[in-house]
Chains A and B, each alone.
Chain A
Amino acid sequence: MGFLQRPFVVLLLILTYQLLQCLVAFGSVNEGDQKQEQFSEELLLKPLPDRKVLAHFHFQSSAPPSAANGRHHHLFPKAISQLIQKFQVKEMELSFTHGRWNYESWGGFDPIASSNAKPPGVELWAVFDVAQDQIDASWKNLTHALSGLFCASINFLESTTTYSSPEWSFPPASGNLRYGTLPREAVCTENLTPWLKLLPCRDKAGLSVLLDRPSIYRGYYHSQRLHLTARGSGSKEMDSGIVLDQTLTVVLQPNSRRAGMVHASENHIQPSWSLSSMFGKQVIGKCILAKSSNVYLQLDSSLVSPTNSITSENFWTNPSFELSANPDSLLIEENSLHSKGLSVLYKFQVENYSESEPFDLGFTWKNPVIWSCQQAPLHASRFLMGSGNERGAIAIFLKSKQLNEGFIGFNADNERCELRVDVFQVVPWYVKVYFHSLQVFVDQQPKAVSDVIEKIRVSPSKDKVSPGMMEIVLKLPCRVKSAALTIDFDKGFLHIDEYPPDANQGFDIPSAIISFPDFHASMDFPEDDSMNKSSLLSKFKEKSPVMSYTEVLLVPLTTPDFSMPYNVITITCTVFALYFGSLLNVLRRRVAEEERFLKEKAANKTGGLSMMLSKLSAKLRGRPWEPPQSVQHLSSFINSKLVFKVILVAGLAVGWQYFFS
């Protein structure tokens, strides 16, 4: 028994020893976990009031501060890290957008609308950590690098006429900021593929499998964004951590045919949808490398509030809709200032699903529901006034929504209740804005500019050098119904080389940015699991001012006939040549002598035409015609001379051709 037991004890010892080692090893891994590169993926789905669905993908990669950043990476994309190292970027955002965010029906107050709704085309801003005089050089190099990285013509932002440096009206404002947009840049898959390459799983696994190209580009709005922040932990730039947020926001129209067949009679019911019906794909499992992989379904406060009976027990049995999968938890928004109601998040953890049981969230409406999203304090729109190719005016129109009275009214009791609105507008140099013509209308009454505008900063445009920029802080009374800003401009002339190939289409004035610094678009969903903070929800929590972009304006400029320069050259040269030739003739000719010659000629010889004329007149008069003498040999001589001239010219032409071919 004794010798039987001994090996057992030894074995046990070995086992425990190994276990201990394991534990120690595990502990060290956990310790090191804080300092490792991390990745998380999240998807937020949200039904929109106008029968559409919003899908917001959020991928976050982070690299801890390390000396090896830019050189050795395990999860974080090397290219991005090298970009930060090389150009000393402190913060940067690049967005590719197709379509326009519909602020009225898709909301203008929540974090998605204010930080993920972007102007059409490409928008890029970056904050640099270099000396003032090197910022422009860094910006130029950065645009070139990004343009190579994302297969887009971002390098057009290199020219000083396309970017500006706002001081305080653009939210992350600081002196080292550069901002530029390309409203006409077309966005397509060739921009998405390099964006996906930055994800560790690309579109091979995890939530990004859903990014089926035909489905997402069929949507009403599509915005692909890349935001990165380098957080310096020390004085040295080398040791800075990097956080890379990649988001893709799409607004899709669910295919309503199937729903229509089920509820043939109820046309006004919202279309039901599922992940597979919208994207044509299902989520098979999470990306193995992701720390967390969650899908959220957000229901608006006004959608939930009629069914106030939500408690944690029956949270998925809702009278107005039905979910095909049971959510793992329910998160309720907490304590927002504009507490009209509280929006609700259903959380689904993708790691609970597998290849045999794919995650395909279905959402079926049972009753017709009408609701609306939360709006920004003022709805902004921008339009052109005036006609003709000479001058016009830009108008920015801010309109209050009746719905907003509720949350504007919370401080309406104050006498001096004011609403602060920041306007940031960039105009290209060929739209020559007269800043003195700025007019402000509040509730359709003209107001003195100094009464309404608290602060204004203008940098006038320089021809072919820099665009015009205008930053304004408006103080409007809270009860304002509408406000308008108008400013006149003259249309400039471009040099013939500066016109784009499709000049007749018109020229774009980039979107103006209207922000409301008094209002913060943040949503706080307290999480029970404090260990795994969701990066999406922590983004929602961040207090960022409510922002909205106005429309892009299309200004038709006078476009020349592009063959004109050559025509002008030809006609001017001909006039000169004529003038010169006649001057030379006048100087050279002997009028009297020539007249004498002509007379002599008329006396002794007549040309073929005059002979025919004299014949004709003779016939008409009825007299016999007398032929003039000695004409025959002369006319034959003229003929041979003519033939010789023709041959000479032809020979010259042939020689010319031969010489140049």
Chain B
Amino acid sequence: MPEITQLPESDVSKPLPDLDPKTMRKTQPGLKRLFLTFSVLFSFLLGFPFFWNSVEIYRSPLPFREIDSLSTHLRSDTLRFPLHFHALFIGFHSDPDRLRLSLLPQITKLTSQNPKCSYNFTLSVIVDSASACLRSPNTSPPSSLYQCGSITPALFDPKDDEAVDQKLESVFGAKKEYTVVVVKGENERAVVGKYRHAWMLVSAGDQVEMAAVKVAEVLVKVFVNGGREEGSIRNEFMPVGPDGRIVLSFNLLNADPRDWVFDWDFQKIDETLLAPMIEALNPVANITVESQVLYHTPKASFSHWNQKLGSHVFSTNDLPFFVNSNEWHLDTSIAAGGRSKILQFVVYVPSAKECPLLLQLPNGEISKTNGFISPMWGGVIVWNPQSCLKDSESNPVDRRMIPLQDLEEMFEVFIGQFRQLFGFKSINVYTGASGVWNLLPSERGFTEWELDVLSRQHTCFNLHSCATTLGSLSRLVQSLPRMIIKDEIGKQVKFSLEAARLAQSNASNGVYESSAASSRQARSLAEDAFFHPSIMSVSYYSFEHCFAVYSPFFLPVAMHVVLAALRELRRYKKEKAKYLAWKAKAN
């Protein structure tokens, strides 16, 4: 090949009178070598995408845009829970439209305080006097199924709240509406029932407007916000694990078993007291209960002897040092899954030398429950044996049982503590700006309207948490372009988004239980994706590594190919110029 191409040039080299071989040539310069080097260069350039694809690691495509849209959707306040309020005035002679118009702005003012989740409420007012039945808004199928006259003022017996509550439930229970009944009566009284109803007896002389203020308050502060103070325990402290489970771990701690050993009949308590509560909370969290008895578990800080009270006193300032994490082996449960929330409830039986042990409040009073809670951790109760004397005759090996009555009291306190961990009040009175309401306690620990509050709050919290987790995941994935992302993660993200969408639509339709359940699923799937083991391990393959492996081949080869192409091109241009010069001269 080279010889053949060389031939014309040898002709050129022959001395011709009018040809300067340095500046001119007679023949066209050959294209063969140029074509060769460029074809090599182009095949390299064409091959590069294939090569890049082959070293590319597998990344399951994540729906980044949908994740973003979910979080903007939630941020832009479009998650609205529908609420149906119902106010019934019995024995009044006012205009329902006027009452409704005076109630609406107050309710709007009060509901607008919650920043994260907003509500979409409807209000219907009925004034039921013996003579007339007036409704507002007056739609053709009445918005409430209430038959005028089915509730009479005589029903409201101030001594039997339970019966009133049951009666109201039988009248209004069919629909999930929040009802406030205002009745004229002799002595003033305001009660919130176990279901979704409240009633109020006002003395005859009072203005309707005063009652309306109170009605607005109970509707918003109690039924919507759960009667909690603003900012007491915030939404972030929802004691539910990312997988929607709670393990209640009950521990009986015998500080010094050499003095006495107490045991409890936990199973009975579990069946009678805890089981109804767990069933009630089922839409919010899947709760399991465990118990154990531990021994040789002193508390971490000292108490001091108070002569006046005749007991050892532990002040509130020292409470952070009460829990002795070195000696209290309140193990995490093996039965629980990886990301369940474990709430520890501890009964502390003090040793003989610190026996009646009381907790002192900052104002100097003695705590009535003799217990305290620690948010997101659990609660502690100090239980003192009846007589603190250590009778030397009885063998301490004989395990004494904690009397059932004490145990029941103890668990009532625990249920109160559990309510507090969820942000509810442990007392049965709600004191608002306009008056005091009695709250009827439920034997299940949580009343219907409290469960509604929990479901709403839980849905809201879960959806926000899911959006945050998915947002972090998408940011992480985008910031590490060479991280391997398995298909499983993509699937989890997809399902999580689907569940979140379902929860949103359920929430806006007012189906609280199922929206809570699917929001729980959305959050747990999002957490699963974020904490997937393949992400946790440092399994990404860095660019530096790739460069170090491939550069010893590609750098020298690329240099050869590019330089050869450049040289050929340069030479071709030069020769072409020569040829053109000759041609010009020849012509």
Residues of A within 8 A of B (CB): 29, 68, 70-75, 78-79, 82-83, 85-86, 145, 149, 197, 200-202, 204-205, 285, 288-289, 566, 569-570, 572-574, 576-578, 580-581, 584-585, 587-593, 596
Q: Which residues of A contact B567 (CB under 8 A)?
A: 588
Q: Which residues of B contact A86 (CB under 8 A)?
A: 334-335
- Complex CA distance for A371 and B293, rounded to whole angstroms: 48
Q: Is the CB of A73 within 8 A of B293?
A: yes
Q: Is the CB of B333 within 8 A of A82?
A: yes
- Complex CA distance for A593 and B399, rounded to whole angstroms: 110
Q: Is the CB of A574 within 8 A of B548?
A: no
Q: Identify whether the interface residues of A are mostly helix, strand, loop, or mixed.
A: helix
CB of B160 within 8 A of chain A? no
User: Can you list 29 A-B pairs, Cβ within 8 angstroms, ordered by A?
Assistant: A71-B289, A72-B266, A73-B291, A73-B292, A74-B293, A74-B399, A78-B292, A79-B334, A197-B329, A200-B294, A202-B329, A204-B296, A288-B295, A289-B295, A289-B397, A566-B548, A573-B550, A573-B552, A576-B557, A577-B553, A577-B556, A577-B560, A584-B564, A585-B560, A588-B36, A588-B567, A589-B2, A590-B9, A593-B6
Q: Is the CB of A288 within 8 A of B396?
A: yes
Q: Identify whether the interface residues of B are mostly helix, strand, loop, or mixed.
A: helix
- Complex CA distance for A29 and B375, rounded to whole angstroms: 39
- Complex CA distance for A578 and B556, rounded to whole angstroms: 8
Q: Is the CB of A205 within 8 A of B335?
A: no
Known: A72-B266, A82-B334. A205 touches B9 (CB 8 A): no
CB-CB nearest in chain B for A290:
B397
Q: Which of A85, A197, A576 contacts B553 (CB 8 A)?
A: A576
Q: Is the CB of A289 within 8 A of B261?
A: yes
Q: Is the CB of B257 within 8 A of A577?
A: no
Q: Which residues of A contact B399 (CB under 8 A)?
A: 74
Q: Is the CB of A569 within 8 A of B295?
A: no
Q: Which of B36, B329, B552 contacts A587 (CB 8 A)?
A: B36
A570 to chain B, nearest CB (A): 5
Q: Which of A569, A585, A590 contacts B552 (CB 8 A)?
A: A569
- The winner among A285, A578, A592 for most chain B CB atoms within 10 A is A592
Map CB proximity to A onto B326-349 as digits: 1 under 8 Å, 0 otherwise: 000101011100000000000000
Task: Give how many B residues have a beta carbon under 8 Å from the other chain's beta carbons.
Answer: 48
Q: Which residues of A contact B290 (CB under 8 A)?
A: 71-72, 78
- The winner among B291, B295, B555, B564 for most chain A CB atoms within 10 A is B295
A68 to chain B, nearest CB (A): 6
Q: Is the CB of A82 within 8 A of B335?
A: yes
- Complex CA distance for A73 and B6, rounded to whole angstroms: 99
Q: Which of A29, A201, A591 contacts B296 (CB 8 A)?
A: A201
Q: Which residues of A contact B564 (CB under 8 A)?
A: 584-585, 588
Q: Is the CB of A584 within 8 A of B560?
A: yes
CB-CB nearest in chain B for A596:
B13
CB of B161 within 8 A of chain A? no
Q: Which residues of B contact A581 (CB under 8 A)?
A: 556-557, 560
Q: Which residues of A contact B552 (CB under 8 A)?
A: 569-570, 573-574, 577
CB of B176 within 8 A of chain A? no
Q: Is the CB of A580 within 8 A of B263?
A: no
Rank and list the top 9 A-B pairs by shortest CB-CB distance, nearest first.
Answer: A573-B553, A573-B552, A577-B556, A204-B296, A581-B560, A82-B334, A82-B335, A72-B291, A78-B292
Q: Is the CB of A74 within 8 A of B263?
A: yes
- Complex CA distance for A590 and B567, rounded to whole angstroms: 12
Q: Which residues of A contact B6 (CB under 8 A)?
A: 590, 592-593
Q: Which residues of A contact B331 (CB under 8 A)?
A: 78-79, 197
- Complex CA distance for A334 and B561, rounded to whole angstroms: 94
Q: Which residues of A contact B335 (CB under 8 A)?
A: 70-71, 82, 85-86
Q: Which residues of A contact B549 (CB under 8 A)?
A: 566, 569
A605 to chain B, nearest CB (A): 14
Q: Which residues of B contact A566 (CB under 8 A)?
A: 548-549
Q: Which of B37, B270, B560 contacts A72 (CB 8 A)?
A: B270
CB-CB nearest in chain A for B396:
A288
CB of B187 within 8 A of chain A? no
Q: Is the CB of A580 within 8 A of B560?
A: yes
A435 to chain B, nearest CB (A): 38
**Which residues in chain B, 202-259, are within 8 Å of chain A measured between CB atoms?**
257-258
Q: Is the CB of A288 within 8 A of B37?
A: no
Q: Is the CB of B2 within 8 A of A590?
A: yes
